[in-house]
Structure 1
Amino acid sequence: MGAGIIGAACARELAVAGFDVLVLDRAGAAAATTSHGEGNVLVSDKGPGPELELAQLSRRLWPEVLAALAERTPSPDEPDGVDGPDAVEWDPKGGIVVATTAEGAEALLPFAAAQRAAGVRAETMDDDALTAAEPFLTERRTAAVYYPDDAQVQPAAAATALLTDALRAGARLRTGCEVLGAVTRGGRLTAVRTADGPVEADVFVNAAGPWSGEVARRLGVPLDVRPRRGEVLVTTPLPPTVFHKVYDADYVGAVGSGAGDLQTSAVVESTRAGSILLGSSRRRVGFDDRLRPEVLSAVAAKALRLFPALAGVHVMRAYGGFRPYVPDHLPVIGADPRLPGLWHATGHEGAGIGLSVGTALLLRELLTGSATAIDASPFRVDRPAVLGDALDASATTEEGS
């Protein structure tokens, strides 16, 4: 349930492994959260712990997955190379985290040291190296760390490529199909109700991103996954100006914050088309999708603090999307013990693009009872952060004969 990047990655992993896969989405493939992301594949923003382990696993897997996509023989109606690294704009350009205050440096350098102890490549940069790497960066910097393993993809293209490979392996896709409720038999989920009738299966995977909490509610089990809004500004194409993903050290704090009010930090990176993406913001406003000028202004102001040379550059558009937020900032991956037959792969907030292929591998390993590549227990469904504050379910469950 869900044809965004997480659903697409899971569908591909399971279809290639021989599962009979049907992907349901209430809209279209990669049409919601995935298409409103920046495409980050990051290790730089995660401290030691389960999410970093999942990020490291996914970062190792991404090149392997893209190579497999490129090697797959296309069907006659597909152009050669449609699913290769070039098609998804894979760019292992690395990331640079910059502190612009003494306090920022005092936080950044120990954070990077802890990451190095956990196996992350994090290289402290002196001023000359930083200037050579990013000549247009502000001169007001107190510390910088380079992360060579940070990468980027075009998110909608990546999701489409994964889903295309799943379809090639035998999966099916049904769009415009909204899950309305559950059909159970003997306490087990045996079908989901849709406007077109019930859809039966042995296993159901809730990969509906920010809507996962609502889907779970309709199926009769509360799940505390909420939407968290983010906005991005896109400049007109420019000559080469930003060469890595560059963000202020306070970005990590914004990612880890549970505050519902507006959180902004400077995140600046270029695309292959020459445009520059300016972020980022985080705020909990439900599913209110209105762009707020004050939010965009705050995002732009933070970006200009990092790259003053962008002053006067034209912004050609802005967009926003909803991220699936969980209070403890960890994804939800695995079986729901309250409703046999239901599994979840959600709650990745803004890291879903990067974590998608690792999540898919864990899901397949858990489904088949295989040894998992990393410890999956921190992502279990029945942990307090996921169930503790979830709303009481009010969906009516139909009992099958």
Structure 2
Amino acid sequence: MRVVVIGSGIVGAGAAYHLSRRGAAVTVVDAGCQGGATRAGAGIVCPWVDHPEDDDWYHLTREGARAYPALVEELGEDIGYAKVGALLVAEDPVDLEPVRALLRRRHAAAPEMGDVVDVDTPTELFPPLSDGLSALLVPGAARVDGCSVRDALLRAAVARGAEVRTGVATLTPDGRVLLHRADDTGEGTRWSPAAAGAPADEGEHTSWRQAAPLSAAPAPVTPASPEALRLTDEGVPVEADAVIVAAGAWTGEVCRPLGVELPVFPRRGQILHATMEGVDTAWWPIILPRTGPYLLGFPDSRVVVGATVEDVGFSPRVTMGGLDEVIEAGLRVAPGLFSATVTETRVGLRPVYAPGRALIGPLTDRVVVATGLSAYGLTAGPFTGGIAAALALGEAPPLDITPYAPPRIGL
């Protein structure tokens, strides 16, 4: 069976991987658009603290986290995955009680989170933290390197015969794929959805992390760059029996020729990477305050701090204001990072489906869509790609997709 996957982020790479394992002939199309979310993801895998009032969202992220150990074994290479635990921190211990109750309620169905315990001196686990913070340790939480995961998935797919092509894929009204050359900037053609409306807040105000945008500036409700899709040629047909659209925040534009308006929007996140020379940060736990920022350590004395939560349309830029927000909030939680060296900044456009949850399911008999993971792409991306692969092959998915399914065209 021939399947085209539009999008080479972590969801598209996951789909290609699972398709190739089942013997499908896979073509992945990579447009090279700036602002892809995978590269800018911090890499937190700790689903049990979020979506307390939305079991469907939670089940998707929980299963995504649960699938990682087997995926690591299958890939057989280092993807930056490590169970380092997560410290939930707050200045007032009373603020930890709601999440403690949530974890207690979810533990029986998710024992992989480990036994949650109080930590009297969190600075012993994450030395730069502010003194006097109260903390809960969730030992089952893990961190992962998003780029390493995506690249490993694509390498494994290519090793089984998958092809990765650079260019812009568009759909015809009947679901055929046309491949266009990238524009002359060398960065791939960029486009923005013209669908009106603002993204929902996804209930993030009730989740432990990323409770609200850091910026106090008003958020625009329409894309910042409403240009039409710029194409340099008429396109070359790519033969396919099925198509998976995993184009992240650009998914709505890709699917528009089918006659459907999918309100998928970009939500910008800026993060920074810093190094602490001579300090072993590889096994530091993830730090999750009640509201941003999060912090986590990686090998090579690296600490990641992020992220902004900005509804500014298709504007994949690192800004002075965004970095100021991240740095100020990060130092408030971990003043010991004051002398750390800022080595890199990253920005990504997280795909948000306006109705709230992820968007996964068939649009037509031959086109499947998989996007809308927002801040949980690295947690649930490979698993979501597996769901899309099963749907494209006519198999039963590993999770009931009814809560995430788009409206079927023509029905």
What is the rounded CA distance, in whole Å, between the counterparts of 1:293 and 1:234 in structure 2? Answer: 15
1:2-401 equivalent positions in 2, closer than 5 A:
2-27=7-32, 32-48=36-52, 49-70=55-76, 84=77, 86=78, 88-101=79-92, 104-116=95-107, 118-119=109-110, 121=113, 123-128=115-120, 130-142=122-134, 144-175=135-166, 177-184=167-174, 189-192=175-178, 194=180, 195=233, 196-238=235-277, 239-240=279-280, 243-250=284-291, 265-336=292-363, 339-382=364-407
Cα distance change of structure 1 residues 123 and 328 upon mapping to structure 2, 3 Å threshold:
farther
Contact 1:15–1:170 (CA<8 Å) still a contact in 2?
yes
What is the rounded CA distance, in whole Å, between the counterparts of 2:347 and 2:179 in structure 1? Answer: 30
What is the rounded CA distance, in whole Å, between the counterparts of 1:249 and 1:334 in structure 2? Answer: 33
Cα distance change of structure 1 residues 368 and 198 upon mapping to structure 2, 3 Å threshold:
closer
What is the rounded CA distance, in whole Å, between the counterparts of 1:341 and 1:37 in structure 2? Answer: 30
How many residue pairs are counted as aligned between the two chains?
346
Contact 1:207–1:346 (CA<8 Å) still a contact in 2?
yes
* Residue 117 of structure 1, CA deviation: 5.0
What is the rounded CA distance, in whole Å, between the counterparts of 2:15 and 2:70 in structure 1? Answer: 15
What is the rounded CA distance, in whole Å, between the counterparts of 1:301 and 1:140 in structure 2? Answer: 19
TM-score, length of structure 1 as denominator length? 0.79
Deviations 1:286-317 (A, max 9, x none): 11123221221121121112212112323223
In structure 2, stretches of 5+ residues that fail to align are 1-5, 181-232
Alignment partner, residue 253 of structure 1: none
* Residue 22 of structure 1, CA deviation: 0.9
* Residue 244 of structure 1, CA deviation: 0.8
* Residue 91 of structure 1, CA deviation: 1.7
Secondary structure of 1:3 counterpart? coil
What is the rounded CA distance, in whole Å, between the counterparts of 2:164 and 2:91 in structure 1? Answer: 47
Contact 1:93–1:243 (CA<8 Å) still a contact in 2?
yes
Alignment partner, residue 255 of structure 1: none
TM-score, length of structure 2 as denominator length? 0.77
* Residue 183 of structure 1, CA deviation: 4.7
* Residue 113 of structure 1, CA deviation: 2.9
Deviations 1:166-201 (A, max 9, x none): 1111211111x11234152xxxx2334634422231
Aligned residues: CA RMSD: 2.5
Secondary structure of 2:7 counterpart? coil
Contact 2:92–2:133 (CA<8 Å) still a contact in 1?
yes
Deviations 1:130-187 (A, max 9, x none): 3443344222324x22222221222112111101111111211111x11234152xxx
What is the rounded CA distance, in whole Å, between the counterparts of 1:69 and 1:54 in structure 2? Answer: 22
* Residue 10 of structure 1, CA deviation: 0.2
* Residue 66 of structure 1, CA deviation: 2.1
Q: Which moved further from structure 2: 279-288 or 361-370?
A: 361-370
Contact 1:44–1:95 (CA<8 Å) still a contact in 2?
no
Q: Which moved further from structure 2: 154-163 or 59-68?
A: 59-68
Contact 1:183–1:193 (CA<8 Å) still a contact in 2?
no
Secondary structure of 2:370 counterpart? strand
What is the rounded CA distance, in whole Å, between the counterparts of 2:83 and 2:143 in structure 1? Answer: 6
* Residue 230 of structure 1, CA deviation: 0.4
Deviations 1:21-49 (A, max 9, x none): 11111128x98322222223232442351
Q: Kindly provide the amino acid, as one letter, of the partner of residue 67 in structure 1.
A: E
* Residue 368 of structure 1, CA deviation: 4.0
Q: Kindly provide the amino acid, as one letter, of the partner of residue 98 in structure 1.
A: V
What is the rounded CA distance, in whole Å, between the counterparts of 1:351 and 1:276 in structure 2? Answer: 19
Q: Kindly provide the amino acid, as one letter, of the partner of residue 156 in structure 2.
A: D
What is the rounded CA distance, in whole Å, between the counterparts of 1:6 and 1:207 in structure 2? Answer: 6
Alignment partner, residue 257 of structure 1: none
Q: Kindly provide the amino acid, as one letter, of the partner of residue 322 in structure 1.
A: L
Contact 2:387–2:397 (CA<8 Å) still a contact in 1?
yes
Contact 1:329–1:349 (CA<8 Å) still a contact in 2?
no
Contact 1:233–1:319 (CA<8 Å) still a contact in 2?
yes
Cα distance change of structure 1 residues 109 and 278 upon mapping to structure 2, 3 Å threshold:
same
* Residue 109 of structure 1, CA deviation: 2.6
Cα distance change of structure 1 residues 324 and 21 upon mapping to structure 2, 3 Å threshold:
same
Q: Which moved further from structure 2: 209-218 or 118-127?
A: 118-127
What is the rounded CA distance, in whole Å, between the counterparts of 1:204 and 1:154 in structure 2? Answer: 27
What is the rounded CA distance, in whole Å, between the counterparts of 1:108 and 1:69 in structure 2? Answer: 34
Cα distance change of structure 1 residues 69 and 316 upon mapping to structure 2, 3 Å threshold:
closer
Secondary structure of 2:346 counterpart? strand
Secondary structure of 2:307 counterpart? strand
Secondary structure of 1:126 counterpart? strand
What is the rounded CA distance, in whole Å, between the counterparts of 2:356 and 2:131 in structure 1? Answer: 33
Cα distance change of structure 1 residues 278 and 93 upon mapping to structure 2, 3 Å threshold:
same
